[in-house]
Structure 1
Amino acid sequence: MLRPHLSDRKLAAVARWAAERMARVKNPVLSERLLGVAGHRIQDPRTKADVLMDAAEARFDLGYVPRHLTQACAAELACADEHHKAGRRSAAAASAARALILSFHRVAHLDGLTSPLAADPARFTAPLRRSRALRALRAPRGRRTPAAVPPDGRPTRLLFVHGGNDNFLPVILKRYRSHPDLEVRVLNTAQDASTAPLAKGLGRMIASGLGARNDYAEQTEAALRPQLDWADVVFVEWCTAAAAFLTLVDPGTTRVVVRLHSFEAFSYWPHLVDFSRVDDLVFVSEHLRDLAVETLPHLRESGTPALHVLNNAVELTDFALPKSADARFTLGLVGAGQVAKDPRWALEVLRILRQSDKRYRLHLVGGGLNATSSPALHRYHQAFTAELDPLVAEGAVRVLGHTDDVPGALTDVGTVLSTSVREGWPLSIMEGAASGAVPVVRDWPFFAGKTHGARSLFPSDWVVATPAEAAQRILTVNESQETWLGAGREASEHAISAWDWQSVCTAFDQLLLPRTPAIPGQRAVRTSAE
């Protein structure tokens, strides 16, 4: 047992022995306990942070979530706070960046079926809220002048900004590019010659936000000022690097709108956004808005943007095609390239169904898992493949891979599944429902039991808690050809009336066009998590 009088040097030696062992074994229970005791008792902040961070990174390298993740992050942020207190802004930024990268490691939130942030947002983000350096980073820098209505006598100018992912913009751009009273530009910060060298680099963005003296702030101002001076309204797609980069600069009288989809809530980028320079923050669902308000200290402080929930812009009417003769007994899972989609859940549903009726089969549409991206994903892929291969061999599963004709692929699907542990706004279910496939939606575990989630986004009879419930819903709906066709028809009518672009576009007009009556927004409320 460790004794209180051991020196930091000896405690660090014990901790490093424990960390080395943790990097080699699957269940390092004793090593984690030793590390926790040693890390707690080491007095020197830098030594404490080094041993805890090294141990956490070693566990991540094996594809496991470290038991002391929050403790390691807090130790590194303590070093950042000391640097900031002493006026060492660049050093503070480097430590803060290291802490954020560790906290939001993909193994913790993206490559598994659980997330410590989703499980307890207040506890997980506590070190971020307490940190002196991060409080300084998120202190509102504001703008010298408020956003203004554009002058009369010329078209309103809309600037759409993204960092390389414009998947959800084409329908919106099509509408506004054809509008006679608008001028539209698109800025891809990852490819534009002026912004591409600048719109990346977590450490230098933090340093700039903390007021470090270097050329980066001036270069960013020079790259963005012409764009901001031209635009009346800026719409930033995805709350990632482009949003953090753009809010490093005072937008002047230009109104700034940022849209957060889903995965960003499990990343560090929103923690770098200066929300005092954002007028409107858009979410694709209520449960994502709720998580963001719980997770982001920015949204519980003064000067927060108006919060809106708007469905994605998609055209669904093209999906309403006649079903093939075999569709009734065919399940479809569209897009299973992430662990969060949990395709093993779909295989379990299929196995239960085939106990009753061997006609049931599953189509897997879209790219598969990239087993080489992380050890955690590799383990899931191995388990999935072990279950999948026998079902493929007996003809129960067809792996269709990527297709550019999703409406065509869905003509063979009678039941569309959402098997994910988390979703923001699951496009595949909206498209599948619009096609007339019967939707079966797992009550996504990240949001199950909360005020908003799958059960608030979808009709209640679409949502199930277990594979057994999913199978029972399918068997009940599929009692006859008539009941199946009727359920699919109802799903299609609901999807198109609720989520098709023609039902959503007016809300986007209200959000983006200054002379259109504004869409009502909400302000984030303070919570006990503060």
Structure 2
Amino acid sequence: MSTPPPRALLYGDVDLNIIDGSAIWAQSMAQALAAAGCEVTLLLKAPVRTDRLIAPLATVPGVHLLRPYEDALVPDAGPRGLTPEQAVSLMVARHERRPFDLVVVRGRRLAGLAAQEESLAGRLWTYLTDFPHGVDGLTATTVAELTEISLASRFLLCQTEELRAFLESSVPAACGRSVLFPPVVVVPEDARADGQVHARARLAYTGKFAQAWNTLEMTGLPAALERRGVESELVMIGDKIHADPADWSKRMRKALEGTPGVDWRGGMARADALRASAECDFGLSWRDPSMDASLELSTKVLELGALGLPVVLNRTPMHEALLGSDYPLFAGADLDSVAEVVARAYHDRSVYADAAARCRAAAGDHTLERAAERLRGYLTEALPPVPTGADPERPLKVVVAGHDMKFFTRLAEYLSSLPGLEVRIDEWEGLGTHDQYRSRELAGWADVVICEWCGPNALFYAKWKRPDQRLIVRLHRFELYAEWPRRLDIDKVDAVVCVSPHYADLTREITGWPADKVVVVPNWVDDEQLARPKLPGAEYSLGMIGIAPSRKRMDRGLDVLAELRRMDPRYTMSIKTKQPWDYWWIWNRPEERAYFERVYRRVQREEALAGAVVFDPFGPDVATWLRRVGFMLSTSDDESFHLAPAECAASGGVPALLPWPGADTIYDPHWIHDDAVAMAEAIHAVVREGRFEEEAERARAEVIGAYSLGRVRSLWTDLVVLGTVPASVPARA
């Protein structure tokens, strides 16, 4: 029996009668979802007055249009289109009639309302654009709204890495849910520039006419170019003229209709607009400097690049990352700067060819095929297949019990998403504090129980275990030396899971439990989320995550940094951590307090460390933070696993460890150094010899092979569903 295609409902709070970036997004998203294998229902906001954008969708298999006006689906619909409230009500009604697997929405107000609908929770794929792009606009109300949207969304689709980083740094709930979905460029096969510059240069602008888009200023280009010996024509395509401010809109229309050298062609179908642009020589995406801080990437830049046109645009960090800092058509704030770069490229065809090639290459990662590939990956993540041994008709009943789920939450969410599994959480208030009646009820209901931590929860579920039930206990360093393992009836336990071979051996030695009951399933690394481009200079940045208690040995990390700064003062250290005084059980111990007073005094007073140590707040935005970290230090006295070096490696950095017990069973000895001086010398050699990228690629390959989220999920799925795990799972693949 074949699996039916995922059902996707798509709605953007945009009018598809008006050609602008947001309307083109809706068209492109429908095409990309269909190409990814979805059955797509596109809900239209407004009555159809022109089919320029929706007509091309009629030929796309799997795309269906829902016309609320023509089909009278919403009572009292106003002439300007559905309100967000009306749209959400209609979406919920359609979902309740026949459920959708994913609901893709665009528009913050709309997403905020959809997030309040319980039936849509977890199915929302929210495309975020219209929210503040600076900390000054992030009020408490805005953060609360974005938090609610994040918690209800399966994915937050972000146009750019910059937008994702800002969102995750500002809204902790967005971490782990934010994924990249850059603009999609769909260009007709017959719309391609020929690479030749006409004697009378043509410049193309398509889209809305708005003050911040510099469209009024653009109409002065033909005259400015004529003064530089370039005969030109400005082709402007679009029919949406912003009415605010009113005097500006009047001047804009007058300029379109009466400026010599300006050819205003009005609105037209997207494919026709692209064909018309392809007949030009230059594309324009030059905007007011107030938009330089935008975290969104203009679709027009990519479309024009895909046509083969060089594009004139503002110099911003995002555009430099896209086209290179030496891209020749970056313009300044005034019209003369635009005319200067166009005239230079017009007169020097090598400059023109270079700019066109860069724009074409930048557009290559934004094709419909690439968008569909991304979506297929997200669909697999959101809608995993039925695991071997599971039966959706008779779901396996799984309970996850524990007092602190922070290390297991992602795995529990994944198990919950698997067809054929029904997962319930028994979250205890404390180590030994819980609702005994609920726990007893769940013990009687479950086929499989997973106890996160080998504490009182494991003792409770072992006591009430049925003969036909399986009990899995995950043991951490914390419990190994406590009383609970000694009190646990190991005959009632089917598997004790440790995260490393070293601690599995210690567990067998200390407890005397049967060797075959103690298995290794390593910690996981979310390699997809962590795979982000490093920021310039990251190779000179050391990192540490969590420096309390004192056995984490921040002092050794400072030794490494001081040694490196004697070799090159560019080295710095970023420490992402809670402070020791945030943990009462640490700060109340005199020896711990004395230790941290010493190391903090050293940071303040030691000349080699002055100004070189930055403390960053503890939080889930690790993937964003790691973009500026090149080397992750692990200088502890002991660790059960220490995930931070693996996360750094997955992010494109290099792990650097001291030889704490068991380190070589988790990490390749290549990354382990005898002492702080040896570590510093090895790090500096990598940077000095230009081997950082080579070492980072090696580390990432090793970590993904051993600890990728997909691999660890597979091990846990086999353990839960089939009751099997390889007798010996090596930490290092």
Q: Which residue of 1 aligns with 2:471?
A: 256
For 1:303-355, what per-residue CA distance to the aligned partner results, in whole angstroms no more than 9, with x for missing partners?
x7612101123412211211111211111111112222111110011111122
- Decide whether aligned partners of structure 1 residues 520 and 415 sit closer, same or farther in structure 2, where only a CA change above 3 A counts: closer
2:658 to 436, 442, 449: 442
2:623 to 394, 403, 407: 407
Q: Which residue of 2 aligns with 1:109?
A: none
2:399 to 159, 181, 184: 159
Partner letter of residue 373 of structure 1?
A: N
Q: Which residue of 2 aligns with 1:485?
A: 693
Q: CA offset at residue 168 of structure 1?
A: 2.0
Q: Which residue of 1 aligns with 2:683?
A: 474
Question: Which is bigger in relative contact order (C-alpha 8 A, separation at least 6)?
Answer: 1
Residue 169 (str. 1) matches residue 380 (str. 2): no
1:233 to 444, 448, 459: 448
Corresponding residue SS for 2:587: coil
Q: Which residue of 1 aligns with 2:429?
A: 190
Alignment gaps of 5+ in structure 2: 1-388, 729-733
Q: Aligned partners of 2:390, 2:568: CA distance in 1, in Å?
A: 63
For 1:475-528, what per-residue CA distance to the aligned partner results, in whole angstroms no more than 9, with x for missing partners?
221123x311211122122222321111222211211103x7x22347xxxxxx
Partner letter of residue 418 of structure 2?
A: H
Q: Which residue of 2 aligns with 1:57?
A: none
- Decide whether aligned partners of structure 1 residues 345 and 385 sit closer, same or farther in structure 2, where only a CA change above 3 A counts: same
Q: Aligned partners of 2:618, 2:391: CA distance in 1, in Å?
A: 47
Q: Note the aligned Cα RMSD (angstroms).
A: 2.6
Q: CA offset at residue 150 of structure 1?
A: 10
Question: Is the CA contact 1:414–1:437 (under 8 Å) kept in the aligned structure 2?
Answer: yes
Question: Is the CA contact 2:393–2:420 (under 8 Å) kept in the aligned structure 1?
Answer: no
For 1:25-44, what per-residue CA distance to the aligned partner results, in whole angstroms no more than 9, with x for missing partners?
xxxxxxxxxxxxxxxxxxxx
More strand by share: 2
Q: Aligned partners of 1:253, 1:404: CA distance in 2, in Å?
A: 39
In the alignment of these two chains, the number of paired residues is 336
Q: Which residue of 2 aligns with 1:431?
A: 647
For 1:179-226, what per-residue CA distance to the aligned partner results, in whole angstroms no more than 9, with x for missing partners?
22111111013279xx8357xxxxxxxxxxxxxxxxxxxxx6x66442
Question: Is the CA contact 2:392–2:421 (under 8 Å) kept in the aligned structure 1?
Answer: no
Q: Aligned partners of 1:351, 1:337: CA distance in 2, in Å?
A: 20
- Counterparts of 1:19-418 in structure 2 under 5 Å? 154-163=394-403, 165-190=404-429, 196=433, 224-297=439-512, 299=513, 306-370=517-581, 372-391=587-606, 394-418=610-634
Corresponding residue SS for 1:196: coil
Question: Is the CA contact 1:257–1:281 (under 8 Å) kept in the aligned structure 2?
Answer: yes
For 1:215-238, what per-residue CA distance to the aligned partner results, in whole angstroms no more than 9, with x for missing partners?
xxxxx6x66442122101101111
Alignment gaps of 5+ in structure 1: 1-148, 199-219, 448-452, 523-530
Q: Aligned partners of 1:379, 1:251: CA distance in 2, in Å?
A: 51
Q: Aligned partners of 2:524, 2:510: CA distance in 1, in Å?
A: 26
Question: Is the CA contact 2:390–2:421 (under 8 Å) kept in the aligned structure 1?
Answer: no
Q: CA offset at residue 157 of structure 1?
A: 0.6
- Decide whether aligned partners of structure 1 residues 176 and 313 sit closer, same or farther in structure 2, where only a CA change above 3 A counts: same
Residue 499 (str. 1) matches residue 715 (str. 2): no
Q: Aligned partners of 1:331, 1:150: CA distance in 2, in Å?
A: 45
- Decide whether aligned partners of structure 1 residues 406 and 151 sit closer, same or farther in structure 2, where only a CA change above 3 A counts: closer
- Decide whether aligned partners of structure 1 residues 197 and 416 sit closer, same or farther in structure 2, where only a CA change above 3 A counts: closer
Corresponding residue SS for 1:478: helix
Residue 460 (str. 1) matches residue 669 (str. 2): yes
User: Which one has a bigger Cα radius of gyration?
Assistant: 2
Q: Aligned partners of 1:504, 1:188: CA distance in 2, in Å?
A: 23
Q: Aligned partners of 2:503, 2:449: CA distance in 1, in Å?
A: 22
Q: Aligned partners of 1:256, 1:330: CA distance in 2, in Å?
A: 44
Question: Is the CA contact 2:471–2:492 (under 8 Å) kept in the aligned structure 1?
Answer: yes
Q: Which residue of 2 aligns with 1:520?
A: 726
Corresponding residue SS for 2:628: coil
Q: Aligned partners of 1:376, 1:242: CA distance in 2, in Å?
A: 32
Amino-acid identity (%) = 28
- Decide whether aligned partners of structure 1 residues 293 and 519 sit closer, same or farther in structure 2, where only a CA change above 3 A counts: same
Q: Aligned partners of 1:251, 1:464: CA distance in 2, in Å?
A: 49
For 1:399-448, what per-residue CA distance to the aligned partner results, in whole angstroms no more than 9, with x for missing partners?
1222331111111111111111111121111111111111101111xx2x
Partner letter of residue 337 of structure 1?
A: A
Q: Aligned partners of 1:158, 1:186: CA distance in 2, in Å?
A: 9
For 1:8-28, what per-residue CA distance to the aligned partner results, in whole angstroms no more than 9, with x for missing partners?
xxxxxxxxxxxxxxxxxxxxx
Question: Is the CA contact 2:645–2:654 (under 8 Å) kept in the aligned structure 1?
Answer: no
Question: Is the CA contact 2:603–2:610 (under 8 Å) kept in the aligned structure 1?
Answer: no
Q: CA offset at residue 269 of structure 1?
A: 2.6
TM-score normalized by structure 2? 0.43
Q: Aligned partners of 1:314, 1:373: CA distance in 2, in Å?
A: 33
Q: Aligned partners of 1:258, 1:488: CA distance in 2, in Å?
A: 35
- Decide whether aligned partners of structure 1 residues 472 and 151 sit closer, same or farther in structure 2, where only a CA change above 3 A counts: closer
- Decide whether aligned partners of structure 1 residues 397 and 460 sit closer, same or farther in structure 2, where only a CA change above 3 A counts: same
Q: Aligned partners of 2:539, 2:594: CA distance in 1, in Å?
A: 33
Q: Aligned partners of 2:434, 2:709: CA distance in 1, in Å?
A: 35
More helix by share: 1
Q: Aligned partners of 1:223, 1:250: CA distance in 2, in Å?
A: 15
Question: Is the CA contact 1:363–1:397 (under 8 Å) kept in the aligned structure 2?
Answer: yes
- Decide whether aligned partners of structure 1 residues 349 and 152 sit closer, same or farther in structure 2, where only a CA change above 3 A counts: closer
Q: Which residue of 1 aligns with 2:345?
A: none
Q: CA offset at residue 240 of structure 1?
A: 2.1
Q: CA offset at residue 153 of structure 1?
A: 5.9
Question: Is the CA contact 2:499–2:640 (under 8 Å) kept in the aligned structure 1?
Answer: yes
- Decide whether aligned partners of structure 1 residues 394 and 470 sit closer, same or farther in structure 2, where only a CA change above 3 A counts: same
Corresponding residue SS for 1:513: helix
- Decide whether aligned partners of structure 1 residues 512 and 366 sit closer, same or farther in structure 2, where only a CA change above 3 A counts: same
Partner letter of residue 475 of structure 2?
A: L
Q: Aligned partners of 2:600, 2:460: CA distance in 1, in Å?
A: 40
Question: Is the CA contact 1:335–1:428 (under 8 Å) kept in the aligned structure 2?
Answer: no
Q: Aligned partners of 1:340, 1:434: CA distance in 2, in Å?
A: 25
